[in-house]
Each structure stands twice: as structure tokens, then as C-alpha cells.
Structure 1
């Protein structure tokens, strides 16, 4: 399996923003409030997503799902927990994934103490199907991260649920990154055919010592990308942010083209990515960045870690990255794996089956669509 991990690559810092927040109720000053939504009985909100056609707002919370209109007025509210195990012990259901499969009009939610996923009617959020209760998809602890989004599998012309999830101490044996089925038998199972598996696994002995936190994910130009926080190496205590990607359905290799590149903002002190958003900026910014037609920009919010650890300070920053620059960095990483001292410099030693010593054709088969 090919995995290439490149040394930190320089990228232009475009602007810097310092953000401060109150620990108590925020003061909005002169900000004009257009609309608001509250639920006095809610234990917390975990995720929010907006339907790209209707503009309706969906919120995944603790034991609750909400559908609001564009004015943040409640349309539907359903209860998803607590869930009870075989010993009649109740477990709160923390929403871990909240996304849409637009091809079939489904709302996809994942969470709970078993990490189970569900397909739901997007109007009333009633269940239409779910994964087996022994098929763990999302992380099943409250403090472990999970990112999920729907994107194509181009070779088969069908959508997959791309998932990045922190491996938990429970040792459930599920992959860190995977592509999940959204149709046919055994829904939400890791997709596999004669060409290979859509999964990336951590070496089991590193499950507790090399945590990988997934911050965000998105699809771009036939690749699925994830933003992560992880240690700079299996022997280091310093934490850095990385952007990783996998192919969306090359005719062969599948996730064998998994590649990761260090994501830097301003300097190495802003080491903890907190959120990310991919978009095409407005005209003025697009022109100033000299974007190609259709090219998008990745906005990433970072926090400064105390002594390069995952402990947040009050300092933060926002950096912008042209996707063309990110794509070039991945191309450089693949070439470095192929041409450089791959075993020492580029192999991700935390991953099962990682190698940079494969044939050149493997290193360079990275979703080259005509």
C-alpha cells in the first residue's frame, strides 16, 4: 500500500485574524440578530448542515435531531436517545455525522454508543434504513472525532460515505478512513470489490499512543480530503495539522494512493486546525488570488497549541489555501515517495501496510482522469 507523508511545505499566509471569546454568555454588541433558535431542553448541539436546495437547516444534537427553515423556525424535532444496552443502561446519543446523499434524497446520521449510521427521510427524518448494530462506523466515545461526507465513486458512478474516525481505546477494529456503501446489501459496510478495499487502518499497537483527530472533510476534483490533527511522528510528542486525501475510484489502487501533507498557517505555532470550509470566494478576492476558472479556496481556522501540544491557547488564526497549491503539494509528495528515500522520509509509519517502495506506476497512479 502506498502512503506518502511529506515534510512541511511552505504556503503563503494571506491574512491573520485574532479571535477572543467569553466563557460566559457572549456579548454581541451592535451585531444585528436576524434569527435565532434555542431549545431549553437541549443537552448540546454537535453538528449543523444546510440543505443546498431548500436552504433548510439541520442540527444534530445530543439525543435530538432538528430541522429548521431558513428563518431558523422549527419544522421537525425527533428524539434519537438515550440508547439502552443489554444491561438496560442508557447511553446518550451524540451526533457524529450529519450529511446528505443528494442522489437519493437521504439525510445520513451517525452516532450513539455503538457508532451506528442511519439513512433518514430528509423531510420528517424518519428512519429508512440503518447499519447493523455490530457495524461500527462513527467513534463511539464523546471525545473521539468523526467526520463524514458523501462524495462520488467515479469508477462505479455511485456515491459513498467517506468517513474519518479516531480509533478508540475500545479496539473496535474499524478503519481510520473508509468509504462506506450507501446502496445494495449491507449498507454502510466498507466498500470493496475485486480491485481492493476503501479503508486505511492504524497499526493496532498505536491505537492509544497515536491519536488522529478528524476536523473536517470535503470532495474536490475526484479526491476526498480530510483535515486532521496528529503527532508529527510516532515517536514525537508535538502535534501538527495535516491534510490527507484518497482517490474517489481510480480503476485500481483505491485507497492505496492515501497521501498526507503537513498543513501550516503563518508559522508552526498555529498547529491545531479547528474548522475548515471549501468555497469559491467572491469576485474581488478571486481576482486578487488569481484563481483559475472554477478553482476554490480552502479556509482553515487554527488555534495555537500550548508548547505544540493539543491544549488550546487563546490565540487563533485563519489561513487561506488555493486548491491548486494544495494539489501541487500532493503531487510533490507522490514524486518524493517515488524518487526520494521513501522508507525514511515519506512512509507513514503509523499505518498498516504503509510503503513507499512500490513500483513507479503505483506511486503515480493517483486518479488521472481524462
Structure 2
């Protein structure tokens, strides 16, 4: 039986047999499962891994520096999220950001994970992946930069989770790349915008990379809300975090001089609650390094509850008032604050409020 598969030419007309795609008789499911398994050994950039080891072993390094080092590489983000979600106790399967993962794993755990991570060197080709890890990493980081700019513009409350989703939004492309040798060069042939490429994927493969990425995220037991945002980031009816990721993805393409649809950009921005005036400002800033502010303010190491307590403390409220507003006991409020002081390296409430304010968390 022939294992070749017909691929429609971009200009229409009868399908042609493309010899690049082999073994199609195995079926889509089997090919994708093999690709999912291959992603278990997706490598991190050696320099990123080495940077993580350097900062976690430096007692003077802040939690923010550790987070930045991890977020420099998608493979490292995937690793810490997966392991943190296994070890999170009653938060198992609910860790959707790198700051939360770092809190669960501790410096020692991160050092152990990083030391075992498979790596690739940009100047050497990695069997099975070639240049894919570096191309994927660059676009992921560009999308995270754009997502961070949007989060600040919109005062988005779940900033850390959004940045994590932005980094992982295209993991489905890695699956398709491994499953189909014709992906992306032949599948995307002639497509210019992200929407055109997604259309080609659906037409030629019957699925798009967003849906495949959502399946992979669930296979890795990542939080459902993260998997859903990845899965739906190219859906026309996407809203919330999925729409923000889609907008960030378009902005990343724009910042790199790649084609996007102005009409679609306006449509998605409107769905995200971004006014045209705000969108113009973001478009102007990104190519000129406006995203460089991305981590000038460190990611907040505090849990949402700890931040709520500290915010009320900054407003001059006492333990009893805070407890009543949040439905907690005063002893629980006290515990949250003691944990906050430890995370921030603060000696008292005044210093904790000052640190959090200076770093943009309050």
C-alpha cells in the first residue's frame, strides 16, 4: 500500500501526491501520539539551562532572577510546570505560572531539574529537531513580551498566568512539526498571516496547532484553564486569556516585520477591551523595545491571597478588618503576612508594603 498522501496545491486544482509525507496510513492519531512522546525530550537551550543553574546556586539571586532565567526557555517552563503540578499537594494540577511553580519546587528542586534537562546548542544540530527549538523559543518570548505589554495596558489581574500561556501557546506546532515532515513549509505554503496559516492547517490536516497544543497541555496534566487558552487562541469566538494570547501573537509577528491583518487585529483588540488609541500605542512601542519593560518589575512571588492581605494592610487596615473583609481568621491573616515577609525579605509590614509598591505589585 502506498504511504504517500495527497496535498492540495495552493492555487487549487487536483491534489498532487507529495513524497515528503510518509507513513500516513498509520493514521493521524498514531502520528500525533508519537509526536507527543517525542516532546517528552524537547531540549532546552544550553545557555538557558546554565543560567538557571547559576542563579539558583547563588544565594544572593532573587526569586525574580530565577523566574526570568526559567522563562528564557520554553522547555524549562514546561519542565517546572509539569513537576510543580505533580508535587503541589492540594494545589496539584492548578499551578499555571512560573512564580507559583518556583514556590512549590524551591531552589534545590529547580537546580535538580535543570541539571537533568536535555539541552541543545545553537551551533550544533539536534537530531530530530534541527533549528526548531531556537525558532520556537524566539517567537514564544516575543509573544510573552507583547502579552506583558497588554497586561500592563489593561491592568490584567492574572498577569503571571497570561505570560506563561503566551510562552506555551504554540506547543502544538512542535507536535505537528514532528508528526508531519511537510509542516510547516508545505502546509503553510503561500499563507502570509497567522489566520491564513491556521486555515491551511485545518484544511490540510483537519486540525490546527492550537487544538493540538491544548491536547498536549492536558496530557501533561497542566491546569485546564491554561490548556483551554492554548487550545482556543486561534478560535474566532475566543475571549479572555485566549483572546489576549491571540492578540499578543499577532503583535509579535508585527514586531518582527511579518504580515498580519489590520482588520483582524482591530477585531481581536476590541474583544480584549483594548481601545484603538491603546492599540496604536502598543504597536508603536513594541518594535522600539517598549517590551523591554517586561521584567523591569519582577513577577510577584506572592499568592493571590497574600497579595490581597498585603494590599489591605497598605490601605492602613488592621488584622481584624482584613480578616472580616476576606472571611478569614485573624491568625490566618497573620500567617499570610509572615509568609509575605519571608518571600519579600522584609522585616516588618512597612518594608513589605514598600517593596511591593516599588516593584509594581500594589
Normalised to the residue count of structure 1, the TM-score between the two structures is: 0.25
* Greater RCO (Cα-Cα under 8 Å, separation 6 or more): 1
- Which of the pair has more CA radius of gyration? 2
Whichever structure has more helix as a proportion of its residues is: 2
